[in-house]
């Protein structure tokens, strides 16, 4: 299969392009190759490449900055996916796109499923939700909602920030009242490869590691696996931090639908172990 990966310079995009090469003919495109906010340029580019699948790893990810830069957020997170959906339809390609847990309000008491109603609380979250809808305009689509991505080459995630602080013995503020189901990039790539390979039913899937934890518990697990002291971890409340864009407090997602489609995401503890061991699936 010929697979076009756009957003290939990002943390997920880099890993995606590198790992799909073993299985597919991969064309990795960065912003320098095609700016996804240009409608005609994207259509021309996609027609020239003529892929069987497009994997969209591009995004405007400045969550707080989006409150000020709504136009930029919507251009990349909502209208670029619309253009990609149209281009995918023109060449009859499957389109894979990534969403976020931020589409939920974070007030639930059990993990959100794909059937739960989104209630985005920020401009970033709204732009990402509209992007999901745009992608769903093309029948042959997968939207994978991911969360707190970690394991990228640039090590810029919250998990990596905690790992670095615990290793160095410096202070790592961690929320004791914010719950996450993080997504290990290796597992997101493997899930994507599975969907491409098996042609599972199209639609929306939560693509997070199995289980959930507070950021404090995640930090404790990191310290345990590293064999380091937990003393670095400084528990803080979400209420103590003023973000321009509100974050969902309870962001546990259920990945049961993905499991029913044949791909069981490993537990987050297993993902942390593999990440810290430097192993990949
Ligand atoms: N990171 C997380 O924790 C997280 C959480 C939930 C959901 N997600 C979703 O997961 C996906 C991957 O995220 P990520 O963390 O890998 O993102 P990332 O590292 O920020 O990479 C995003 C990429 O998109 C590219 N891009 C932005 N605007 C573009 C444009 N106009 N044309 C072409 N390319 C453009 C950027 O190019 P430049 O390098 O040139 O800027 C960058 O390489 C996204 O859909 C994101 O919303 C991520």
For 65-113, what is each residue's pLDDT tens digit? 999 999 999 999 999 999 999 999 999 999 999 999 999 999 999 999 9
- Alpha-carbon distance of 106 to 178, in angstroms, equals 9
The DSSP element (H or E) to which 54 belongs, if any, is strand 53-56
Q: Evaluate: CB of 160 within 6 angstroms of ligand 1.
A: no
Residue 278 has pLDDT above 70, yes or no: no
Q: Tell me if 58 CB under 6 Å of ligand 1.
A: yes
Distance from the alpha carbon of residue 26 to the mean position of ligand 1, in angstroms: 18
pLDDT score for 215: 98
| Ligand 1 centre distance from Cα of residue 181 (Å) | 19
Which atom in ligand 1 lies closest to the alpha carbon of residue 101?
Answer: 6
Residue 279: strand pairing partners: none
Q: Is the CB of 59 under 6 A from ligand 1?
A: yes
β pairing state of 94-100 and 53-56: parallel
pLDDT digits over 2-25, tens only?
Answer: 999 999 999 999 999 999 998 999
Cα(10) to centroid(ligand 1), Å: 5
The label of the residue with tokens 């796109």 reads: 97
Residue 83 near ligand 1, beta carbon < 6 Å? no
Rounded (10°) angle between helices 80-91 and 123-135: 10
Q: Among the atoms of ligand 1, which is closest to the Cα of residue 145?
A: 7
The two tokens of residue 208 are: 């997070």
- On the 0-12 / 13-18 / 19+ scale of CB atoms within 10 A, 192 is buried
Residue holding tokens 């281009």?
A: 87
Residue range 138-194, pLDDT digits in tens = 999 999 999 999 998 877 899 999 999 999 999 999 999 999 999 999 999 999 999
- List b or e across 69-84, with b for residues whose CB sees 16 or more CB atoms inside 10 angstroms: eeebbbbbbbbbbbbb
Q: Residue 35: CB within 6 Å of ligand 1?
A: yes
- The secondary element (H helix, E strand) that includes residue 213 is strand 213-214
For 206-229, the pLDDT digits (tens) are 999 999 999 999 999 999 999 999
Mind listing the domains of the chain with CATH numbers?
2-155+182-211+253-265 (3.40.50.720)
Rounded to the nearest angstrom, the distance between the alpha carbon of 204 and the centre of ligand 1 is 19
Q: At 195, is the secondary structure helix, strand, or coil?
A: helix
pLDDT of residue 249: 97
CA-to-CA dists, residue 265 to 21, 55, 109, 214, 244, angstroms: 22, 19, 21, 19, 32
Percent of the chain having pLDDT more than 90? 96
What separation in Å is there between the alpha carbon of 61 and the centre of ligand 1?
Answer: 6
Of 72, 71, 133, whose CA–CA distance to 97 is shortest? 133
Atom 24 (ligand 1) nearest CA: 58
C-alpha to C-alpha distance for 5 and 53, rounded to whole angstroms? 9
Global pTM reads: 0.97
What pLDDT is attached to residue 155?
A: 74
């Amino acid at each position: 299969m010929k697979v076009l990966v756009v957003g290939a310079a990002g943390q997920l995009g880099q890993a995606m392009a590198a790992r799909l090469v073993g299985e597919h003919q991969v064309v990795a495109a960065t912003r320098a190759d095609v700016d996804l906010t240009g409608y005609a340029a994207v259509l021309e580019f996609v027609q020239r490449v003529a892929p069987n699948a497009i994997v969209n790893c591009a995004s405007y990810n400045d969550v707080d900055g989006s409150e000020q830069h709504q136009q930029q957020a919507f251009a990349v997170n909502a209208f670029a996916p619309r253009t990609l959906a149209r281009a995918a339809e023109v060449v009859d390609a499957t389109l894979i796109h990534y969403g976020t847990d931020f589409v939920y309000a974070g007030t639930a008491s059990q993990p959100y499923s794909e059937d739960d109603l989104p209630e985005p609380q920020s401009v970033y979250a709204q732009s990402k939700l509209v992007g999901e809808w745009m992608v769903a305009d093309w029948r042959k689509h997968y939207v994978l909602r991911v969360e707190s991505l970690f394991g990228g080459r640039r090590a810029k995630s919250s998990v990596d920030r905690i790992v670095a602080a615990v290793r160095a013995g410096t202070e790592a503020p961690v929320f004791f009242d914010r719950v996450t189901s993080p997504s290990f990039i290796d597992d997101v790539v493997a899930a994507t490869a599975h969907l491409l390979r098996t042609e599972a039913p199209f639609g929306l899937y939560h693509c997070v590691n199995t289980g959930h934890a507070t950021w404090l518990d995640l930090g404790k697990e990191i310290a345990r696996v590293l064999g380091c002291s937990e003393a670095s971890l400084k528990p803080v409340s979400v209420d103590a931090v003023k973000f321009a864009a509100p974050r969902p407090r309870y962001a546990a997602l259920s990945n049961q639908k993905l499991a029913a489609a044949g791909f069981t995401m490993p537990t987050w503890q297993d993902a942390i172990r593999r990440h810290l061991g430097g192993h990949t699936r």
